[in-house]
Amino acid sequence: MKLTLTPDQADIVDAAVNAVRRATTDTSDEDQARRTIAALSDGGFLDLASTAGPLEAALVTEAISRSGVLAPVGARLLVGDVYGLGDDPVVVGLIDGRRSLVRYGAVADVFLGVDGDNAFVAYKDQVTVTPLTDGVGTPVARVEINNSTPLPTAQAAAVARRWRIAMATEAAGAMAGAISLTVPYVSQRIAFGRPLGAFQAVQHRLARAQVFAEGTTWLARHAAWADDDYLAACAATYACMAAVQVYENTHQVTGGIGITTEHGLVRHTRRLVGLQRELGGMNAHARRATAARLADPTPAAVAENVA
């Protein structure tokens, strides 16, 4: 088993993150979504899932999420690829049902939706968008679909599958970002004459957070590599459980400073709150994992690993 990125994968991730970082420096959160997609378009990354593979698209999504940039990267690179958007520099919004809250809905050019076992596509002139002043870690709008085009059955299943992979991947990046801010803080903050990180209770909390974050990372990467319904649902289910653990444990050890925007922890943890509610949340993901396993007791991706 290879647990390190190949040189090509590392180069792709570094190039994408650097391009986005340059494009989003000193920009407001509201502008980051469109600037990020434009930067990825200029660098030729938008069709990455088709040209390199879903895993490479997931790696870029994870790294940009870890950097704290607020943009629907997974929606565009992973889910948009299913609809065949190619390298068009459009912002994708993901909607559950015909009327729902949509992250980045106010700036989305096209909406890909899941309605039960069906899926559809709608463009911004086919929807009613009401931006909200308060998001959950990211800008949010209430979107109502007025008109749409249904997608074929196979494409509909792929939209839901890629959405779960994108959610788990972004969550993994946000968890890693939260932990990377928390560890230096507890190493430098002195309490009772010792760094906070020297206390075993603090170490246990961060170790627990790290285990859940790592688990999410590798499950999401495996699901992206296999592009499999069962693995995608498992990764999304685990990501929802892990989000709670990482959120609670990083905030517990950082105390009051952790809830300030200056520290930066909330930039990652607030996103986790929103992500764990996407596409029906943990229970819906778990039901999908069960249904996928019952439909195929030995999925190809699982059988390959056993062999």
Q: What is the pLDDT of residues 254-282, one digit of tens each?
A: 999 999 989 999 999 999 999 999 999 99
Domains of the chain by start residue, with CATH: 1-89 (no CATH), 90-151 (no CATH), 155-306 (1.20.140.10)
d(CA 304, CA 218): 17
Q: Find all residues with CB under 8 Å of 176, minimum gap 6, and list them.
A: 62, 66, 213, 217
- Quickly list H helices, 106-228: 153-188, 200-226
Q: What is the pLDDT of residues 4-26, one digit of tens each?
A: 899 999 999 999 999 999 999 98
Model-level pTM greater than 0.85?
A: yes
Tell me: pLDDT of 300 over 80. no
Q: What is the pLDDT of residues 72-108, one digit of tens each?
A: 999 999 999 999 998 999 999 999 999 999 999 999 9
What is the rounded average pLDDT for all residues in the chain? 94
User: What value does the mean pLDDT take over residues 162-178?
Assistant: 98
Tell me: pLDDT of 303 over 70. no
Cβ burial of 247 (10 Å; 0-12, 13-18, 19+) is buried
Q: What is the pLDDT of residues 203-240, one digit of tens each?
A: 999 999 999 999 999 999 999 999 999 999 999 999 99
Contact, 83 vs 119, CB < 8 A? no
pLDDT at 168 (0 to 100): 98
d(CA 62, CA 34): 18
d(CA 195, CA 210): 19
User: What value does the mean pLDDT take over residues 31-44?
Assistant: 96
